[in-house]
């Protein structure tokens, strides 16, 4: 169960890193992103597709570029991540020395 959560968090981290690169370097292509991040081309391509489906980036002849929605998403991101962190913190089971059978 936790393994799935860790994989999702890793994937989200990759998507956000790719988005950040687009924001900072637009237009930017897959090869440059792959070289700079160390992620394989197929993982960068997948992240770009997810970001495009969310309308956060769009393709251009020179590479990926941001959309009108990008700025709004970025401004809401910290708050949403904070809420998620609070939820995860609330899920902790503290002070339990051993689980009763």
The dihedral over CA atoms of 33, 35, 39, 45, expressed in degrees to the nearest 10, equals: 40
- In this prediction, what percent of the chain has a pLDDT beyond 90? 83
Gap between the Cα atoms of 69 and 96, Å rounded: 45
Domain ranges of the chain: 2-88
DSSP 65: E
CATH classification number, 2-88, choose in 3.50.50.60, 1.10.10.10, 2.60.120.1440, 3.30.930.10: 1.10.10.10
Tell me the average pLDDT across 65-70: 96
Query: Locate tokens 């394989």: which residue?
Result: 40
Mean pLDDT across the chain:
92
pLDDT score for 82: 93
């Amino acid at each position: 169960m936790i393994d799935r959560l860790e994989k999702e968090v890793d994937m989200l981290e990759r998507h956000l890193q790719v988005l950040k690169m687009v924001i900072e370097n637009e237009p930017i292509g897959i090869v440059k992103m792959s070289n700079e991040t160390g992620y394989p081309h197929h993982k960068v391509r997948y992240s770009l597709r997810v970001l495009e489906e969310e309308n956060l980036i769009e393709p251009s002849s020179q590479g990926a570029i941001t959309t009108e929605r990008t700025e709004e998403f970025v401004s809401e991101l910290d708050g949403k991540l904070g809420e998620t962190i609070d939820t995860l913190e609330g899920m902790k089971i503290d002070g339990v020395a051993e689980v009763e059978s």
